[in-house]
Copies of this chain bind each other. A is one copy, B any other.
Amino acid sequence: MTEVGESQAGGKAKPRGKAQVAHRKPTMSDVARLAGVGTMTVSRVLNGTVPVAEETARRVQTAISQLNYRPNELARAFRGQKSKSIGLIIPYLYDPFFANCAHAVTTVAKEHGYSVIITTSNEDPETEYAEADQMLQRNVDGVVVIPASLSHSRLTRTLFGKTPVVAFDRPVSDPTVDVVLVQNTAGARRIVEHLIEHGHQRIAFMGLSRSLFTINARFMGYRRALQEAGLHEDSFFGCGSQGETLTSLKEKLKGLNAPTAILTSNTLATRYVLSSLLHLGVKMPSDIAFAGFDDFDMAEFTSPPLTVVRQPAQEMGRVATSLLFDRIERGEVPQTGNRIVLPVEIVLRRSCGCKHRLPVVIH
């Protein structure tokens, strides 16, 4: 007699079809009772694991829809040790790049019938660790993460145990973790080479912070291109605010060796640099040529349209998540993780000095 104790209002022993008021959600045994079968039969009909007599199955189906029964996913997850959910940890959601990544993750998860538990780390390794731990306590079946800056890190196999993890956009130190990146270095290098082809000899790199993997990698590409051309570096890594960016730029531009071209490390730096250039009355590309790393919706409609390195944000999220599901479905812990590097595109618009009426995309 399962007769749930708290007979508040609707605790009829015999469920009478729709009489089941919205008080307590119907359970599998409610269905079983109504259909006159055992709970296991209901379970089987639901999961299709083992054949059930057609007639019985129909009775069960009827009972299910009469009661409007829905399996309790929480109980399932609890019982089965797998929650059909994955965790997603990203630095911020207000950054369109990260948001695009996240979009792809949720999309792929939905295709696999999984739920996504999302959280933001605010670029803080401690928060990130705590959130990952929290997700693990919720028995997520896997985690995709854009690791917080330089979290060398607290994100290790030890924490995750046998739960699969895939890092993307930025790597983690643990070599058993899969990682999906883009060609940061090669992309930066190519666009600097392009600037050099335009005849520039003094090219500045305006960056956010070298402690971010992606930005450092881009800087390395910039450096490499300059070295190969026998040119000098000129970099700044404090584009974290409008003020600092403006100050730095003003300083650079008044010297005799003022740069004639700029490469920014990411969209935030681009924004601050653009704004500073505007303040200073410096025109692109006549006074200075410009290229940015990371494309964004409006890059085509600024004045002039911006030449950028375009990263496949959604693609990266998609690949990372697919990889995660591979791991989840295989169920084995990898000895060594994959390292996938996705190609970037160079989008030539006008800020670099090109005259194309429409953007030219180089793969």
Contacts of A298 in B (CB 8 A): 271, 296-299, 301-302
| Interface contact B83-A93, CB-CB below 8 Å | no
| Interface contact B94-A120, CB-CB below 8 Å | no
| Interface contact B22-A162, CB-CB below 8 Å | yes
| Interface contact A117-B115, CB-CB below 8 Å | yes
| Interface contact A72-B137, CB-CB below 8 Å | yes
How long is the Cα–Cα vector from A267 to B96 in the complex, in angstroms? 14
Contacts of A314 in B (CB 8 A): 94
How long is the Cα–Cα vector from A157 to B92 in the complex, in angstroms? 32
| Interface contact B303-A275, CB-CB below 8 Å | no
- Cβ-defined partner of A274 (8 Å) among B78, B88, B275, B301: B301
How long is the Cα–Cα vector from A271 to B285 in the complex, in angstroms? 23
* Residue in B closest to A95 when the chains form the complex, CB atoms: B99
CB distance from A320 to the nearest CB of B (A): 15
CB distance from A181 to the nearest CB of B (A): 20
* Residue in B closest to A127 when the chains form the complex, CB atoms: B110
Mark each residue of chain A from 99 to 135: 1 if its CB lies under 8 Å from any CB of chain B, else 0: 1101100110010000111111000000000010111
* Residue in B closest to A296 when the chains form the complex, CB atoms: B298
Main secondary structure of the interface of A (DSSP, over half): mixed
The residue in A70, A93, A157, A158 that gathers the most chain B C-beta atoms within 10 A of its C-beta is: A93
**Is the CB of A257 closer than 8 A to any CB of chain B?**
no
Among the listed stretches A1-9, A219-227, A321-329, which one makes contact with chain B, having 4 or more residues with CB under 8 Å of it? A1-9
| Interface contact B22-A161, CB-CB below 8 Å | yes
CB distance from A171 to the nearest CB of B (A): 14
How long is the Cα–Cα vector from A26 to B289 in the complex, in angstroms? 60
- Cβ-defined partner of A301 (8 Å) among B96, B99, B302: B302
How long is the Cα–Cα vector from A71 to B139 in the complex, in angstroms? 11
CB distance from A245 to the nearest CB of B (A): 13
| Interface contact B70-A137, CB-CB below 8 Å | yes
How long is the Cα–Cα vector from A297 to B294 in the complex, in angstroms? 14
How long is the Cα–Cα vector from A2 to B77 in the complex, in angstroms? 21
Contacts of A229 in B (CB 8 A): none
| Interface contact A73-B115, CB-CB below 8 Å | no
CB distance from A274 to the nearest CB of B (A): 5
| Interface contact A333-B120, CB-CB below 8 Å | no
| Interface contact B133-A70, CB-CB below 8 Å | yes
| Interface contact A103-B107, CB-CB below 8 Å | no
**Is the CB of A260 closer than 8 A to any CB of chain B?**
no
- Cβ-defined partner of A93 (8 Å) among B99, B136, B158, B161: B99
How long is the Cα–Cα vector from A176 to B4 in the complex, in angstroms? 9
How long is the Cα–Cα vector from A1 to B134 in the complex, in angstroms? 26
**Is the CB of A174 closer than 8 A to any CB of chain B?**
yes
Chain A interface residues toward B at CB < 8 A:
1-2, 4, 8-9, 22, 25, 70-75, 77-78, 83, 85, 88, 92-94, 96, 99-100, 102-103, 106-107, 110, 115-120, 131, 133-139, 156-158, 161-162, 173-176, 267, 271, 274-275, 278, 296-303, 314, 332-333, 335
Query: Could you list some 13 contacts between A and B, CB below 8 A?
Result: A8-B332, A70-B136, A73-B134, A74-B137, A74-B139, A85-B138, A92-B103, A93-B99, A106-B119, A115-B119, A117-B118, A278-B301, A302-B303
* Extra pairs beyond A78-B78, A93-B103, A303-B303 (8, CB < 8 Å): A2-B157, A2-B173, A8-B335, A70-B137, A94-B314, A107-B120, A110-B119, A116-B119
